[in-house]
Structure 1
Amino acid sequence: MNKETFDFTRIFIDGEWRLGKSERTMTNTNPFTGETLFDIKAASEEDLDDAYQSAKRAQKDWAKRPALERQGLIERFIEVMQQEKELIIDWLVKESGSTRIKAEGEFKASLLIVKEAATFPLRMHGEIRPSVVPGKENRLYRKALGVIGVISPWNFPFHLAVRSIAPALAIGNAVVVKPATDTPVTGGLIFAYLFEKAGLPKGLLNIVVGRGSEIGDAIVEHPVPRLISFTGSTEVGRHIGELAGKHLKKTALELGGNNVFVVLDDADIDRAVESAVYSKFYHQGQICMATNRILVAESIHDTFVERYVERVKQLQYGDPSNERTQVGPLINKDQIERIMDELEKTKQEGAKVLVGGSVEGNVIAPTVVTGVTNDMPLAKNEIFGPVAVIIPFKSDEEAIEISNSLPYGLSGAVHGGSIERATRFALDIETGMIHVNDQSVNDEPHIPFGGEKDSGLGRFNGEWVLEEFTTIQWVSVMHEQRAYKPFFP
């Protein structure tokens, strides 16, 4: 199907494209041009129930299919992804405001995660363990959970949806996806199109495009799903965790971050500058792993700031469809207003804007702010935009205290001339992931991905997501008659 002609104006349930039953219509908008991409009739709770029930029916047979059949499906999906690369990138650019640079990177990361998922059907191994009872053995079977609900975000919609969808299906689960309202295609509907081409049996993947106010709680509280996979803000994640806990459901939550990028006094400054610019401005800073606070040792602070500002001034920003653009638009006006309000409040508290600070449409010019302390709005809140704040520190101990002072712990980075010193420093940071002499935006398909504290629960990728999306059943087998003494003398 030609990328300009495929119609994504319907939801996808039980293998069929159909109109949502809500009375409300949702508008999908290009965040750079402001043009309407399409309108879609939203899903209702009735649609959501249909989706979960069809997933439940389809999953029982799917889990019993031979491992090689499930592996074959994922391998065909990989082929379809590669065939439809331009479709995926085109929608990432026009729907999520991704630059082509970022869209290409997101496609590559997604492809790697799906290739990893293709190995899962043959990694569903169990165990046989001895028993304390004579003549008995203990068998441990790893089984698919059943149905998984996925709530995908708008910032890296394709990658952060497929990292749950592909592993879940490979393992033997069925999936219901509710994409973010800003990215209904790249966070949801496009997967129905791609998996349909790959030959996925109907009912195993269902996409419900709807408003959080109408079906947000219901997708969590519905009795069918065994696990809810959510990527998004800590505030919403906490609410989902509360709802899921009330119904004794598992959750995999990847939430907000207030990540530090620490430059120790023996760091290679030029190397740290380049790494910190990427770490802050890739995809306009709209990444959970993006650097929020840049901490720089006082002895090299001024030199670092001078070189950092010089590098930021060279960034190309504006139209995301231009192949040279490095910084594109934010997803919507609400994000612009929130960031500019926090920038103004931070300036009122004594901070200085060295470059940037202007807005055109949904684009914020790459901005650098100094004179910031850890209690100012831009430091204590997750920015999620192209504004860099730089904070000096006197000692490693002070930098560790600043880093750990806030309730987040997703990612981070530390630069230092001594690898061992920088590594010791990294180990003292309360975070799920941290990178020495690199930037904070890292994700590898075979390495555990997740946060500590208010940044989430559980881990994605590799054997860790396999653990999240399965359950263990203990089956014991008596090979000879057991004597139930002293109950029966």
Structure 2
Amino acid sequence: MTYLTDLLIAGELRPGRGGPRDVENPADESVLAQVNDADEQDVEEAVGAASRAWRAWARTPEPERAAALRRLADLLAEHREELAEILVAEVGKPVVEAEAEIGGTIGFTSHAASLLETRTDEIRYTGNRNEEIWTRRRPYGVVAAIIPWNFPSALVTRKLAPALAAGNAVVLKADEKTPLSALAIARIVAGSDLFPPGLVNVLTGAGESVGRALVRSSATDLVTMTGSSAAGKAILADAADQVKPVSLELGGKAPFIVMPDADLDLAVRDAVASRHMNCGQVCIANERTFVHESLYQSFVERYVDAVSNLVVADPRDRATQIGPKVSGAELDKTLDSLQRSVSAGAKVLVGGSRLGGHGYEKGHWFAPTVVGDVTDAMPVMSEELFGPVTPVTVFDEWDEVAARANATRYGLSAYVYTSDLSVAMAASRDLSFGEVYINRIGPEEVNGFHAGFHESGLGGDDGAHGLDGYFRKQTVYMRY
């Protein structure tokens, strides 16, 4: 397959002016393509083009903007197989998961059109006759969108579609590890003639250079970013000088709580699925498994058995359940957290190392791992693992486990398995997380609202609330 490596700047597809960067296939460490990063001049040109394009787009009637997004969704669907193939190659994502992600890529686009078609502004009244208060939603202007490597296709349209629906222009920076998905979408956008030149710009490059230039630019009006908490803090600091609005979806350390009345088969199945999707590289993944003492032994036995039978293999194979980690550096981070926990007394129940031997000679392969005898202070229980490692611990009663679940700087997602409605209601009240799932796992739905508490973020994505984040609110006092 030939991969598209041009950036989209001011309506033109062309190489970046920055240095070349190899894009690696994490399954075998081969070089898929070489992409020239953007430099500061590219950033300036993209932002300048967006600044010139957005006002005319904002004046375009909303039904026309919605129709353009629906047509874009159709075009993405026509390229479904190609986009999935790119995901498999650059992320190492199993093909079944890659196909599901492309479904999300399309779904975010069409759903933004639906939201635009049904949104309303507000009219209030004062105590004066012949006077109204209008609360109107106005686009920000130029949106700087920064996405990570773990969902490099779906996160493009998760940011792009609602921003365009709201009447903004977008300069999107793809992650330098996995730029090919975003660049393929850029080519589809450029060839569609659906949007004015310069309305959509797609760049690649490091966050420290290209991302920072976008955030610091006086011509970007809103920053929306998905990534690590450390990167989010850096963006907040860079945006503070201009008091620039920022929306951040950051890291997570989701608790997965199994109550004594839980459906054990369902809990085991979902805990395995939540932990191992995309090789554990998901911000809402099950990162800490808490099991009631009455079920602990049975749960652990079943969980270890299920993990031992997961198929870790070539991500192009439809039978594969887990592919490689995205890079050697990411594998090393997960392994380091595990090794420090084992040194502190944790016990590896299965896995616990890199995979080697036949089929794993090249690539960044990690054995699915279960860890017992953990304490809440150990790295596997306190640091975001972002890999196929499951620490399992025991608890006695709800108040205890709720307090332990909340004892983290993160607050993105939490899972509770119970057949007791009062416990389910307590979970929605007591757990300090932006998303609480009862007897089900993610991924989140397009018509929900994906947002984190604490160091997991500000603002959020998806649904009507997500679209609302791409509008400024303007109050008009109208006397007539």
Q: Same fold per TM (> 0.5)?
A: yes
Alpha-carbon separation, structure 2, partners of 1:211 and 1:275: 35
User: Match of 2:391, SS?
Assistant: strand
Q: Deviation at 1:452? A: 0.5
Q: Deviations over 1:292-325 (max 9, x none)?
A: 0000111211111001111111110021111110
- Counterpart contact for 1:409–1:451, Cα < 8 Å: yes
Alpha-carbon separation, structure 1, partners of 2:384 and 2:136: 42
* 2:308 counterpart (313, 326, 329): 313
Relative to the length of structure 1, the TM-score reads 0.94
1:193 equivalent to 2:194? Answer no
* 2:17 counterpart (18, 21, 27): 21
- Counterpart contact for 1:423–1:436, Cα < 8 Å: no
Indicate the residue corresponding to 1:362 in structure 2.
364
Indicate the residue corresponding to 1:414 in structure 2.
416
Q: How many residues align?
A: 472
Q: Deviation at 1:271? A: 1.4
Indicate the residue corresponding to 2:121 in structure 1.
126
Bigger-Rg structure (1/2): 1
User: Match of 1:389, SS?
Assistant: strand
Indicate the residue corresponding to 2:230 in structure 1.
235
* 2:179 counterpart (170, 181, 184): 184
Indicate the residue corresponding to 1:149 in structure 2.
144
1:387 equivalent to 2:389? Answer yes
Q: Deviations over 1:65-118 (max 9, x none)?
A: 122221111111111111100111000000111111211221222222222101
Alpha-carbon separation, structure 2, partners of 1:17 and 1:196: 8
- Counterpart contact for 1:124–1:171, Cα < 8 Å: no
Q: Deviation at 1:423? A: 3.0
User: Match of 1:198, SS?
Assistant: coil
Alignment of 1:34-433 (within 5 A): 34-186=29-181, 188-199=182-193, 200-360=195-355, 361-433=363-435
Indicate the residue corresponding to 1:448 in structure 2.
449
Alpha-carbon separation, structure 2, partners of 1:354 and 1:124: 52
CA-based RMSD = 1.4
Deviates more, 1:115-124 or 1:67-76: 115-124
Q: For structure 1, which runs of at least 5 residues remain unmatched after alignment?
A: 480-489
User: Match of 1:267, SS?
Assistant: coil
Deviates more, 1:49-58 or 1:456-465: 456-465
Letter in 2 for 1:156: F
| CA gap 1:213/1:466 in 2 versus in 1, 3 angstroms | closer
Alpha-carbon separation, structure 2, partners of 1:418 and 1:9: 53
Counting aligned pairs with the same residue, the percent is 35
Alpha-carbon separation, structure 2, partners of 1:266 and 1:450: 29
Alpha-carbon separation, structure 2, partners of 1:129 and 1:417: 44
- Counterpart contact for 1:120–1:171, Cα < 8 Å: no
User: Match of 1:454, SS?
Assistant: helix
Q: Deviation at 1:134? A: 4.4
- Counterpart contact for 2:287–2:391, Cα < 8 Å: yes
Relative to the length of structure 2, the TM-score reads 0.95
Indicate the residue corresponding to 1:484 in structure 2.
none
Indicate the residue corresponding to 2:6 in structure 1.
10
Alpha-carbon separation, structure 2, partners of 1:183 and 1:231: 14
- Counterpart contact for 1:80–1:197, Cα < 8 Å: no
Indicate the residue corresponding to 2:359 in structure 1.
none
Q: Deviation at 1:411? A: 0.5
Q: Deviation at 1:124? A: 4.5
Deviates more, 1:329-338 or 1:239-248: 239-248
Indicate the residue corresponding to 1:485 in structure 2.
none
Alpha-carbon separation, structure 1, partners of 2:331 and 2:364: 7
Alpha-carbon separation, structure 2, partners of 1:114 and 1:208: 20
Alpha-carbon separation, structure 1, partners of 2:263 and 2:116: 45
Alpha-carbon separation, structure 1, partners of 2:443 and 2:94: 18
Indicate the residue corresponding to 2:479 in structure 1.
478
Q: For structure 2, which runs of at least 5 residues remain unmatched after alignment?
A: 356-362
Indicate the residue corresponding to 2:466 in structure 1.
465
Letter in 2 for 1:173: N
Alpha-carbon separation, structure 1, partners of 2:93 and 2:100: 10
Letter in 2 for 1:295: F
- Counterpart contact for 2:222–2:246, Cα < 8 Å: yes
- Counterpart contact for 1:419–1:436, Cα < 8 Å: no
Alpha-carbon separation, structure 2, partners of 1:280 and 1:419: 25
Q: Deviation at 1:476? A: 2.5
